[in-house]
Structure 1
Amino acid sequence: MILLDAAGKWSWRRLRALLRRPKVICTAALWALGLTGAVGGGAPRGLLQMAMAMAAAVLCDLLLRRLRRQRLAAPDGAIITGAIVGMVLAADSPLWLAPAIAAVSIASKHVIRLRHRHVFNPAAVGLLLAAAAGASESWWGDLAGLHPVYVVLLVALIYVVLWRARKFASFFAYMAAFLAICFAAGAMQSALGADAFHNPILNSTLFAAGFMASDPPTSPSRLFEQVAFGAAAASVSAAVYLAASGLLYPFIGLLAANAAYAAVRARRRVLQSAGREART
């Protein structure tokens, strides 16, 4: 067991090391939100949907790693993807839907790649495709259906995740840009712009900025790039939201920023390669 030492005894040192891992903290935060949303919102079926999506994501990830002859590793990213899929899809969706979308999300991670890294946030890909196919998405896991005071719990869990992942800059850039654009639209008498400061839009935006835009493999770690990434994702998201309303805006904005960041990485590699060649 991962928490047992060589003698088979409980190891607090290993537990502390495990709790330092950003993805473990993120998984725990998502489960805390899931439990709160399911119990507080009277939708315990959502927890079953969430667990099934996580199981499907893990199995798909392990299978595709095996088929690609990759070294098997802890599928922590797949667990997070499955959890997000289960928490965004409506809790009364058919039970086969969340596992299917989770599997599609993980498949996109293994198919759409630039060198050795996947380009797009897997959950955003799967959920956007699900919405395009007519699936109902209620975002029950962001606690928007509960009393507004629950936003404190959402923000607290996001803070813990961002603190461990060191992604505060992208979160604040996303929220600042999105709310600034919506405030400007509201000042010009846009009802959608004003609604962005209320639920369900506010909690959905917080959830997307905290748990999806901070995904390490598909978002930058450098401070300036985090700011640019968050602002770009938010700008596209706000434009889509103000043009079409609905709850698809975070996926489209995030995927656009993912693509831009992948292009930046590719250009950086080209320049580095050219620099090495010039020195030889």
Structure 2
Amino acid sequence: MESQPAPITNQTFLKPSPSLKAYIRTPKRYVIAILLILLAAGSLHAGFLSGLATVATSIGTALILDTFITRVIRKRHKHTFPDGALLTGLIIGIVLSPATSFAVSAFTAAAAILSKHVITYQKKPILNPAAFGLWLSVILFSSNQSWWGGMSLLPWWTIILVVVGGYLVTSRVQKFPQVFAFLAAYGLIHLILGFIGLTDASSAFMTPYLNAVLFLAFFMLTDPPTSPAKNRDQIIFGILCAVVSCVDFYLFNSLSYLLTGLLCANAWKSYRTYQTNQKRRAIRTKV
């Protein structure tokens, strides 16, 4: 006797496919959704049209270049949306000042995407692409970075949006040791320097410096491909980023001190991965 096919019900059509469910819940798209909320809130005072123009330029450049490299140069024809490029362009757009020229915005995004594909180890980026692009734009063009996506141009209490959104992102990618280590080390260094009278520590906890620190900690420091997974390494990573940032700020008065700290921590993470791989190879050789 032949088995009858299962009856088609409304639940059959309403039940999401596993692939769609996984697609919606990917960490990158989760971060993008939260950043879009910050973008909408931050643009209220950043100059709506000028802010969106900067974001559109950086996102458009990132998407076009990433797609060209992936499909034309590397001949990868998988029909997947380049959400990593979208995320990179979005971060760049809401960090750069809304008054940034189209050329500088495009260059920053292009440099970020190129670093993603060129500066790699085991086919993964060594440096946070957005951080590298922003750092290079400061070095070459002294580009103004207002971090308006971190609510730096809005009343102080709106920083709650950054903290809540950042908490959700950090929880999703499991980077709490890294974020707490960075924030604790960064705050402690400023407090010690302020206590011994070398600097005014209060400025580090005021707008727009605090906004930039929190945005970097929650949305750039936590980038999974360029940051460690183990708790111990996360703590070292966060402390290293904070120390280098403070040294760069106080000794060199650098405008890109936070980005410099993050990039140095990225490089350390890559070196740490290289060391681990070398030890594993040595063990296999002995066996």
| TM-score, normalised via structure 2 length | 0.89
User: Displacement of 1:200 after TM fit?
Assistant: 1.0
Would you say 1:116 and 2:123 are equivalent positions? yes
Aligned to 2:222: 214
8 A contact 2:166–2:219 mirrored in 1: yes
1:239 to 239, 243, 247: 247
Equivalent pair of 1:121/1:212 in contact (CA under 8 Å): yes
* 1:185-226 Cα shifts (integer Å, max 9, x gaps): 111223453311111111100011111110110001111111
Percent of pairs with identical residues: 34
Q: Report the CA distance shift for 1:13/1:150 in structure 2 as closer, same or farther (over 3 A).
A: farther
Cα offset for 1:103? 1.3
Q: Does 1:142 align with 2:147?
A: no
Q: How big is the shift at 1:15? A: 6.0
CA distance in 1, matches of 2:50, 2:26: 29
Measured against aligned partners, the alpha-carbon deviations of 1:218-267 in whole angstroms (never above 9, x if no partner) come to: 00111111111111111111211222345411110011011111111111
Question: Where does residue 61 of structure 2 map in the other structure?
Answer: 56
* Of 104, 107, 121, the match for 2:114: 107
SS in structure 2 at match of 1:196: helix
Return the offset for 1:16: 4.7
Q: Does 1:171 align with 2:176?
A: no
Aligned counterpart, 1:278: 286
Match for residue 40 of structure 1? 45
Other-structure match for 2:6:
none
CA contact (8 A) 1:81 1:123 kept: yes
How many residue pairs end up in the alignment? 273
Relative distance call for 1:275 and 1:12 in structure 2 (3 A) is closer
Corresponding position of 2:136: 129
* Structure 2 gaps, min length 5: 1-11
Change (3 A) 1:199 1:272: same
Q: Which runs of 5+ in 1 are unaligned?
A: 1-6
Q: What secondary structure does 2:171 align onto?
A: helix
Quote how far apart the aligned CAs of 1:37 are. 0.8
Normalising by structure 1, report the TM-score. 0.91
Q: Does 1:24 align with 2:25?
A: no
> Any conservation in 2 of the 1:192–1:245 contact (CA below 8 Å)?
no
Alpha-carbon contact 1:192-1:242 (below 8 Å) kept:
no
- The Cα RMSD (Å) is 2.0
